[in-house]
Structure 1
Amino acid sequence: MDPSIADLSRVQFALTALYHFLFVPLTLGLSFMLVLMESIYVMTGREVWRTVTRFWAKLFGINFVLGVATGLTMEFEFGTNWSYFSTYAGDIFGAPLAIEGLMAFFLEATMVGLMFFGWNRLSKVGHLAVTFLTALGTNLSALWILIANGWMQNPVGAVFNPATMRMEVHDFGAVLFNPVAQAKFVHTVSAGYVIASVFVLGVSAFYMLRGRFMPIARRSMAVAAAFGLLSSLSVVVLGDESGYTLTDNQKMKLAAIEAAWTTAPAPAGITVIGFPDVADRTTHFRIEVPWVLGLIATRSIDKTVTGISELVATAETRIESGLIAYRALEILKKTPDDVAAHATFAEHAHDLGYALLLKRTMADPTIATPAQIRAAAWSTVPDVPVLFWAFRLMAALGFCFIALFATAFVLVTLRRENTRWFLRCALCALPLPWVAAELGWLVAEYGRQPWAIDGVLPTGLGASTLSHAQIVTTIIGFTAIYGTMAVIEVGLMIRSIKHGPYEHLDIAPEPGDLPATPVTA
């Protein structure tokens, strides 16, 4: 396999995934905010809350369509660009995606239609139930997709079958309750709730700065302030739990995020800021807070956080063990009934993936020299500076959101939400949660490299046999199509926001003359 083919396929998948995730988190968060808004309408009977719900539901719908369209493309890419990955791991990876389609996507796709067209056909409680089921289906979709992704991060509940040359499920319960998948799910959906809250807060601030649709803006801001404060706090707490899972399951990723080049005495301090130097394998001008990393990563004061150098040494040992499994597997291909080869392979099978790291530079890993094995071991280290800074920027933005929503909550409680400096801050904050979310995925996925399936299948071996021209053409095509879709999406959003929550009425109130309840013909 030409390594550049795999790299181009990675670029294509990264572009489509990052674009797709512009829409997913807003859908996740807005869906449950709609449930909250409509619940208030059902409990109070005030028509203004019906108008609030319908307005944000319209923006939810625009975003939902784009999320579905871009998500389908990603699923097809597993077959077009990552066919060997699909063959090697399809027995495990395909099951959650199939369940997502059958259990979650069909639910949300059915209920979203009833939600939009059932306002005058269903009872208040019936329509609220439909809205809730739409939100449930949306979040269940995220659950099953993150179970699949979590298995790539921590491949539990599966074994390699030398007879079929594939990974196969032996414990689906372990796949389902994978601690990495569960931590990723709650952290990801909480981030989606923050994105939706900032979106609602920002649009509400825009209306209030213009003095338009004040009854709608005030109520929307109140919901966003409370929902956003709880969500931003949960992101930090659940992000800490997500980081804790790295200690046992992805030690190299944790070491790279912290630029921990060597194992420090327990409890390790956390580097707040510094400048990682890959060439010298050190971090210059570091500012460290003692004990904090040890407490976060190990929940103790006597356990160490393993450094990069020690993890590379472990990888070197695992490569040597994996080569024994690789030689036994070559024997089993020719003589499947060889008992001694079966026993040898079973003993070293858990390290086979490490031997496959050598195939990026040579066709036959069994002839690797000690220097080549050492180089392959160092290839397990992801880009430390990228992960180091991406994580810190993401975390800094997370604390900024807590401050933003805490301020919003206080001002709303004191009925001083029309404070202009705060409204300007809320409006300027609109793009920031998307930046934080994309940085989070960068840390999660780039930090897993060089593995498509951590410790099992190197990324370079999972790609399809394609030409450079084919991949470059599809990258250009996707960029053009997605760029057009982005312009349409933003245009529709801006138009809907500009016309405001009374667009569905026969008459639209003039600015400054805004009824609390809509007027119907």
Structure 2
Amino acid sequence: METGIVDLSRLQFALTALYHFLFVPLTLGMTFMLVIMEAVYVMTGRPIWREITRFWSKLFGINFAIGVATGLTMEFQFGTNWSYFSHYVGDIFGAPLAIEGLMAFFLEATMVGVMFFGWDRLSKVAHLIVTFLVALGSNLSALWILVANGWMQNPVGAEFNPESMRMEVTDFVAVLFNPIAQAKFVHTVSAGYVIASAFVLGVSCLYLLRGRHVAIASRSMTVAAAFGLAASLSVVVLGDESGYALTDNQKMKLAAIEAAWHTEPAPAGITLFGVPDFENRTTRYAVEIPWMLGLIATRSFDGQVAGMSELVLKAEERIASGVQAYDAVERLKLAPQDTQARAQFEQHKRDLGYGLLLKRTLDDPRKATPQQITAAAWDTVPSVPLMFWSFRLMAFIGFAMIALFATAFVLCSLRRHTRARWFWKLAVLALPLPWLAAELGWIVAEMGRQPWAIDGVLPTFLAPSSLSRAQLWVTLFGFTALYGGLAVIEVRLMVAAIRGGPHRHEPDTPPPGRIPATPLTA
């Protein structure tokens, strides 16, 4: 596979994925905020809370529609742009995606329609249940998508079958309860809750700045402050849990995030600031907090955090073992009953993916020299500067969100939020920050997995379809134009809805029944 084709395929998928994730987290968070607002309406019976719920559900609906439209293309890309990936691991990767569509998305999509058109046809409690089912469906969708993505990060419950030349499921329960997938799910949905809270808070503060819809904006701000504070604290706590999961399952990613070039005596310090230098394999101008990384990553004083140099040495060993697995597979192709080849494969099958790393430069990995094995081992190190700075900017925004929502919560608790003009301006300015943090989080997650499409199993350069550069450039420009147009539509619809603001809703249609007779007049 040509390097340019691999890079273009990765670029196209990255653009569509990052664009799609602009809408997903807002959907995740808005659903539960609507449940909270409508629950207040059901408990108090005050019409203003019905009005609040209907206003924010209108903005949710716009975002939901665009999110669905952008998500469909990603599903098809696995077949069009990543066909060998789909062939090689489709038995495992396809199952969570299919379950997501059948169990979660259909539930969410059906209940969304009932939620929008059932206000005057359902009782208060029944409509609240429908809104809750929308929230449940959206979060279940995220669960199954992240089970699939978590398996890419930590491929458990599956093995390579030399007879079918594919990865096959051996333990679906292990796939479902993959520690990486579970950590990613709770961290990702919490980030979505933060984004939705920042959105509601920012729009509410914009109304307060302009002196419009004050009663609705002040109440919405109170909900956003409480929900956002809980969510932002959860993001940090659950992000720490995600980091702990990396210690056992993705050591190279953790080392790259921390620019840990060498294994330090336990407990290792965490680098707050520095300039990673890949050529000299050091971090210049490093400012460290002693012990902190060891305590966070290992939950102990004596656990070590492996450095990249030592992990590269282990990768060399696994590549050499992977060559033996590759040799056994080639022999089994010619003689499936070869017991010696079968025994050799069973001994080295765990490292087959590492042997495939050599196919970037060699048609036959069995001909690799020690120098080529070393070079391939260093290819397992992701872009350290990108990982280092993306993670720190993401973490900085996370702590800034805690400060923002804590301030909002205090102001609302003291009933001073309707007079804090300085805070209103701050909340509006901070509106895009959680989106930036979420995108940075995905960059850390996906770039940190490189050079793997499936960590330790399938190198990325082997995963794409056999497409031409011309085809990829045409579709890349096509998606850019399409998504650019959708972005304009999304922004214009959102701005129009926000400018229009909440208003009293009368029943759109008369209740079901016979049309009353109209008396005749002379």
Same fold by TM-score, threshold 0.5 exceeded?
Answer: yes
- Partner of residue 512, structure 1: none
Q: Amino acid of the residue matched to residue 315 of structure 2?
A: A
Query: Hey, which bits of structure 1, 4+ residues long, moved more than 3 A?
Result: 503-506
Q: Cα deviation per residue 1:381-432 (whole Å; 9 max; x = unaligned)?
A: 0000000000000000000000000000000111111311100000000110
What does residue range 245-260 of structure 1 map to in structure 2 within 5 Å? 245-260=245-260
- Partner of residue 445, structure 1: 446
Q: Amino acid of the residue matched to residue 214 of structure 1?
A: V
- Partner of residue 145, structure 1: 145
Shift of 1:6: 1.2
- Partner of residue 163, structure 2: 163
- Partner of residue 85, structure 2: 85
Alignment partner of 2:265: what SS?
A: coil
Alignment partner of 1:61: what SS?
A: helix
Shift of 1:147: 0.1
Q: Amino acid of the residue matched to residue 382 of structure 2?
A: P
Alignment partner of 2:261: what SS?
A: coil
Alignment partner of 1:40: what SS?
A: helix
Alignment partner of 2:286: what SS?
A: strand
Using the alignment, how far apart are the partners of 2:100 and 2:349 within structure 1?
A: 31
Using the alignment, how far apart are the partners of 1:414 and 1:312 within structure 2?
A: 55
- Partner of residue 37, structure 1: 37
Q: Amino acid of the residue matched to residue 433 of structure 2?
A: L
- Partner of residue 353, structure 2: 353
Alignment check: 8 A CA contact 2:51 2:505 kept: no
Using the alignment, how far apart are the partners of 2:398 and 2:505 within structure 1?
A: 36
Q: Cα deviation per residue 1:7-38 (whole Å; 9 max; x = unaligned)?
A: 11000000000000000000000000000000
Using the alignment, how far apart are the partners of 1:181 and 1:48 within structure 2?
A: 40
Using the alignment, how far apart are the partners of 1:223 and 1:18 within structure 2?
A: 28
- Partner of residue 275, structure 2: 275
Using the alignment, how far apart are the partners of 1:209 and 1:504 within structure 2?
A: 25
Using the alignment, how far apart are the partners of 1:121 and 1:287 within structure 2?
A: 62
- Partner of residue 107, structure 1: 107
What does residue range 17-28 of structure 1 map to in structure 2 within 5 Å? 17-28=17-28
Using the alignment, how far apart are the partners of 2:328 and 2:481 within structure 1?
A: 48
- Partner of residue 75, structure 1: 75
Alignment partner of 1:155: what SS?
A: coil
Using the alignment, how far apart are the partners of 1:4 and 1:350 within structure 2?
A: 29
Using the alignment, how far apart are the partners of 1:192 and 1:145 within structure 2?
A: 14
* 1:368 pairs with 2:368: yes
Alignment check: 8 A CA contact 2:35 2:132 kept: yes
RMSD: 0.8
- Partner of residue 515, structure 1: none
Q: Amino acid of the residue matched to residue 448 of structure 1?
A: R
* 1:474 pairs with 2:475: yes
Using the alignment, how far apart are the partners of 2:69 and 2:156 within structure 1?
A: 31
Shift of 1:4: 1.5
- Partner of residue 98, structure 2: 98
Using the alignment, how far apart are the partners of 2:504 and 2:404 within structure 1?
A: 30
- Partner of residue 510, structure 1: none
Q: Amino acid of the residue matched to residue 94 of structure 2?
A: G
Shift of 1:361: 1.3
Alignment partner of 2:284: what SS?
A: strand
Q: Cα deviation per residue 1:287-344 (whole Å; 9 max; x = unaligned)?
A: 0000100000000000100000000000000000000010111000010110000000
Q: Amino acid of the residue matched to residue 109 of structure 1?
A: A
- Partner of residue 202, structure 1: 202
Shift of 1:3: 1.9
Using the alignment, how far apart are the partners of 1:45 and 1:164 within structure 2?
A: 62
Alignment check: 8 A CA contact 2:51 2:504 kept: no
Q: Amino acid of the residue matched to residue 233 of structure 2?
A: L
Alignment check: 8 A CA contact 2:66 2:490 kept: yes
Q: Amino acid of the residue matched to residue 71 of structure 1?
A: G
Using the alignment, how far apart are the partners of 2:87 and 2:282 within structure 1?
A: 40
Structure 1 unaligned blocks of 5 or more: 507-521
Using the alignment, how far apart are the partners of 2:47 and 2:358 within structure 1?
A: 66
- Partner of residue 395, structure 1: 395
